Structure formats: C-alpha cells, structure tokens
Amino acid sequence: MANSTIIQPNKGHYNIAEELPSWEDFSWKDIETNFSWSQTGKVNMAYECVDRHVEAGFGEKTALHYIGEQEEYKLTYRDLKEKSDLWATVLKKRGVKKGDFVFVFLPKHPDCHIAMLAAIKLGAVVGPLFEAFMEDAVKERIQDCGGTFLIASPELVKRVQRDQLPSLTTVFITAEPEQCTGDEISLFEEARNVETEENIIEWVDLDHGLNIHYTSGSTGKPKGIIHAHRAMIQQYITGRWVLDLKEGDIYWCTAHPGWVTGTVYGVFAPLLNRTTTVIHGGRFGAEEWYDILERTGVTVWYSAPTAFRMLMAKGDKLISNYDLSKIRHILSVGEPLNPEIVRWGIETLSNRIHDTWWMTETGAQLIVNLPSEAIKPGSMGKPFPGIEAAILGEDGEILEAGAVGQLALKANWPSLMREVWKDPAKYSTYFPFDGWYLSGDLATIDETGYVFFQGRSDDMINSSGERIGPFEVESKLIEHPAVAEVGVIGKPDAVRGEIVKAFIVLNKEYQESKELLEELRLFVRSGLAAHAAPREIEFLEELPKTPISGKVLRRELKAREAKKSSDLLVNK
C-alpha cells in the first residue's frame, strides 16, 4: 500500500490555500453562519442555491451552460429563480405539498435542475431517477415510497408503467400538450397559464426531507436513502474547499442527478457556491468531452476513473488537438483511482487528479485530497476537517496503522443520511458499533492519515462507478423462463473497474447458445438498466451453495473467477 511517491500541489493553481482555517479550530457550526437561516432556523435548499444569489445582486451571472445535441444555451441565476418559482407554482396548484415525494425522470438538461429546485421549493422530497433506468428499476423505486408525483420527459415517461403504480396520480411532462398522452399534464402549457405565486418557498426545518436516492447493497432490493436540508452545510463547504469553486469558475460534473454525485455535486454544491455549471446532454464520447472542456472553458472538472481510463485509452494525440489549458482543478469519485491515471493527468492535462471518497448514504465527501495538500497516488486522501475516520476490526476495535479492516466514520457530520425509507432496522445496520458509521468498504490508513481503498466487504458491484446490487440483477434474471438458478458477481475489469458477470444454471428444456446469451443480457438491459446487464454470462451445471440455507455462494464464484480468466464462454 503506502506508495512512496508524493505529489505536491502546484502552488498558485488553486484559490483555496490562503483561505483554509486551521483545522484545530474547525467547527461545522461556524460554516452555518454563511447561510441566512442560521438566524431563523428555517431553511430551504433551493433558496440557498438560487434566490439568495439573486437577492445579493448576482442575478445576471450564468448559472447553467447547457450543451445538448440540438441546442446550446445559458440560464442566469435570475432565469433559474424565475423558472423554478413558476414550475413550483404549477406543482403547487396541482397538489404538491410539503413532504410529498416528487420523482424527476429527465435527461441531463436544465429542466432537470429546474424541476428538482421547484419541488424542493415546496418542501417536497425529490427523487431524481437515472436516465438509463428501465421499467422495473423505475417501478420499484416509485412503488417503494408510494410516489404520487412525477416530472418526466415524453421519451422517458414511456418507461413508467402507470397501470402498476396506483400511488402515482399526477404526471407532468416537460413538453407541449401534443406530446402528452392520457391524463399527463403539459408542464409547459400549465406554466404559461399561471401567475407565479409570490413567496412560493416553503420554509422547513433543517432535518426536513430533501431528496431520496435508491442505492444498492449486496442483499435485498435498493433502499431509499433520505437526506435532509441540513446536508447543505457540508455540501456547500466541500464545494468550496474540495472542489475549490470560486467566482470565475466554469464547473463541470459529468454525473447524472439520478446518482448521488450528480445531485450533490452536479446541482447543489455548485449552486450553493454561486458557480457556473456546464450541463452536457448525453453520455460519454472522448472527442465530445474534450470539445466541451475546450469550448466552455471548464476550470474545475469532477468525473470518474472509468471516464478517465476511457480518455486515456483514446491516446494522448487526440488531447493535443484541444486547448485544455483553462482546467486548473480535476477531481475523481466513485471507484478506485489508479496511480496511473494520476500520472496521466499530470503529463497530459498538467493537473493532479484529486480523488474523493463518499457514498450515497454519507451525503457529501468525507475522504478527500484537498487541493493544497500533497497527494499519495493510490490513496483516496485524508478525512475532511471535522471527520474522524478509523479502520475497525470485526468486533469494532480500532486497528493500528496499516491494518486492513472496515472503513468507519464517527457519525457526526451534517450530511449523513436521515433515514432509510420505511426501514429503521436497515438504518441501524450501518451503526453496529457505538457512534461509528460502517461504510462496507475495506481500507487501510497509513501513519500519516492517508486512506487506501482495498475493496468491498460485501458483494456490491461497482461498474464504471455505478453501484449495482447483485440481488437486483439475479432477481431480474430469474424471471426469465430459461433460468433455473443464478449467481451474479463483479469481475475485475481494466477499464470499468468491475463488470457484471452472471453464472446461470439453465432449466432442463433450454440449451446454451449465443442467441440465448444475447437474449438474457437484453432481458436485464431492457428491464433494469444497461449498466446492470451482465457483460459476461457463464452457464454451469450447478452453483456453489451454503449447505444449510442453500444460498448461492457469490464469494466462491468470485474466487473461481479469480483463478481462471480465459477459456470461458464469453460474450463481450
């Protein structure tokens, strides 16, 4: 582990160094004074993200710079305030009120920001859905919390099975009436026909629900993680000190708000810091990404190792066609950042890539590489000020430097999840030892406090930084008539970190074939989501199981996979 290479910060590159307080004096309470609510105690995330800046005279500053396939435009902070007020008025008229669940199923687009902010203005709990989710994934999430409201695009709403979602009474479409069907409401038309209500903002308590993200573990269906408005304290200050966001910055976070990174560091943190955010509609493409970086003049860029690896694989010659000299700060999240990528960043982008670690449940970054500090490639960094991290052994004992155990954090930071929806028992499983939040990640901490990721302690799969529960994929596959038994694991992969691999025992009447392989992959792809579809499928006569309960031993499948890497029945 402890890599001896240390990479010092490029002084002058960062705005932050001169501002950082001495960490001994750090207190979350002091951060609160940046917000108006520190006097009143009542708060609204959307106000702090948008309205506050307009009131302070920054209404003309660009908030969002959208680059889509068909169009490109900018919205100022004033535009964002007016639009979110207007949409909030429409939602309110149609019955959205404090505490309701409002799901948002939109592609990466300013409408997604506006919809989220509008729902939050009313004190609703917003549930952004990943744009690649298919029918089952969407249904399970809305069903689980009995969601009543949905804001969707005409394309994505086709994946919402209304007949199976009785709780979902009201569906708004971000389009004109011609593109709506049945009882769907055209948000555009309604917005033209209402007067924006004054003082539309619902002021809520700090611990009032703000957003819900469904996230996977190794067992069970995805669980609904609920965060509260209080999270803004940490989301704001990590935006300032870790992302190093300042007045002139152009910032790009490549994640979709359906993932927690896209919500917290794609919507909240940059707006809280009054930053200009780039939104790119669509998925990865090396040429396209370099073009966006150059054209919009991105200065701060937050992405993920898989994307960096894909860019690396395209070669350095391609990069030399673009002027990327405006970039001054790069960050990574979601999966292990290989030292090789850090070196590539320095050589080709003249920037260190700063790893950050956190989880849906933690609500904001916890382990970080502050721009002003030395980086040890291979390490995720050190705990953010105010965060106490430790490596715990099986009985909750704190292990010494260098030992591998569970990464745990003293559960006292503002953005920690408030609730696992309707599942307090699940919530308490995160806190088996007094006061510690247990991450499920294995790690070590070296003598100087740098944290090194070692793997997961459970079967959760991390493919391209997207968190996939093996149970969810297994449950889908078992619905297919050909499948008698199935075990799903994450298999190490050079580009994606891990890929989903399924081991399948076929029902007697079925024979293995290339067509069947393809059909099974498509079955998951079109039911759940593309990223959940197994890239590899292997047919077996039987699966290893626990002798008593007969549960499939994923661990054994993983061990077998590690032993052999070739001569598989592979379908890539």
- Contact criterion met (CB below 8 Å) for 321 and 346: no
Identity of the residue, 45 or 331, whose beta carbon is nearer to ligand WTA in the bound complex: 331
Cβ–Cβ contacts within 10 Å for residue 551, how many? Answer: 12
Distances (CA, A) of 418 to 127, 253, 301, 328, 421: 15, 25, 29, 35, 9
Name which of 311, 305, 255 is nearest 278 in CA terms: 255
- The single-letter code of the amino acid at 32 is E
Residue 491 Cβ vs ligand WTA, minimum distance, rounded to whole Å: 16
**Closest separation in Å from C-beta 205 to ligand WTA:** 26
Q: Decide whether 136 or 498 has the Cβ nearer to ligand WTA.
A: 498
- In the complex, minimum distance from the CB of residue 442 to ligand WTA, in angstroms, rounded to a whole number: 9
Interface with ligand WTA (CB under 6 A): 215, 259-261, 333-337, 355-360, 380, 439-441, 453, 456, 462, 467
Full DSSP string of 539-552 = E-S---B-TTT--B
Pick the closer one to ligand WTA by CB: 275 or 360: 360
C-alpha 79/C-alpha 110 separation (Å) is: 11
Whichever of 457 and 571 has its CB closer to ligand WTA, that residue is 457
Q: Please identify, using beta-carbon distances, which residue of 111 and 335 lies nearer to ligand WTA.
A: 335
From start to end of 125-237, where are the E strands? Answer: 125-128, 149-152, 170-173, 185-186, 209-215, 223-228
Both tokens of 259, joined, read: 């993932």
Least distance to ligand WTA from the beta carbon of 280, Å?
Answer: 19
Torsion region of 362: left, alpha or beta (phi above 0 gives left; psi -120 to 50 gives alpha): alpha
**Rounded to the nearest whole angstrom, what is the least distance from the CB of residue 381 to ligand WTA in the complex?**
8
Q: Structure tokens of 15?
A: 């705005």
Q: Residue 197 or 458: which CB sits closer to ligand WTA? A: 458
CB 227 within 8 A of CB 418: yes
Write phi, then psi, for 493 (nearest 5 degrees).
-145, 135
Q: How many CA atoms lie within 13 A of 25 on its CB side?
A: 5
- Least distance in Å: CB of 188 to ligand WTA? 33
Task: Using the structure block, give the residue that is written with the tokens 């009995």.
Answer: 146
Q: To the nearest whole angstrom, how small is the minimum distance from the Cβ of residue 161 to ligand WTA?
A: 25
Please give the helix or strand (H or E) that residue 505 lies within, else none: strand 497-506
Q: Provide CB contacts within 8 A for 387, sequence distance 6+.
A: 366, 367, 409, 410, 413
Rounded CA gap, 94 and 169, in Å?
Answer: 10
What's the closest the beta carbon of residue 388 comes to ligand WTA, in angstroms?
18
Nearer to ligand WTA, 59 or 222 (CB): 222
Nearest to ligand WTA of 333, 504 (CB atom) = 333
Burial degree of 71 (CB within 10 A; 0-12, 13-18, 19+): exposed
Q: Which residue is nearest to ligand WTA (CB)?
A: 360
Nearer to ligand WTA, 187 or 460 (CB): 460
Q: Terminal CA-to-CA distance of the chain, rounded, Å?
A: 32
Q: Say how far apart CA 468 and CA 466 lie, in whole Å.
A: 6
How open is the CA angle 166-170-174, to the nearest 5 degrees?
A: 135
Q: Tell the smallest beta-carbon distance from residue 407 to ligand WTA (Å).
A: 8
Helices (H) and strands (E) in the chain, counts: 19, 26
* Cβ proximity to ligand WTA, 409 vs 506, nearer residue: 409
Residue number, 73 or 431, with CB nearest to ligand WTA = 431
251 or 358, CB closer to ligand WTA?
A: 358
Q: How far is the CB of 262 from ligand WTA (least distance, A)?
A: 10
Residue type, 28: W
**How near is the Cβ of 11 to ligand WTA at its closest, in Å?**
25
* Complete DSSP assignment for 43-67: B-HHIIIIIHHIIIIITTSEEEEEE
Nearer to ligand WTA, 261 or 277 (CB): 261
Shortest distance (Å) from residue 366 CB to ligand WTA? 10
d(CA 114, CA 86): 10
Nearer to ligand WTA, 259 or 437 (CB): 259
Structure-block tokens of residue 312: 């690396």
Query: Quick one: CA dihedral 338, 10, 390, 257, positive or negative?
Result: negative
Both tokens of residue 427? 């919530």
Residue recorded with tokens 């708004």: 172
CB 269 to ligand WTA: min, Å: 12
Shortest approach of ligand WTA to residue 88 CB, angstroms?
28
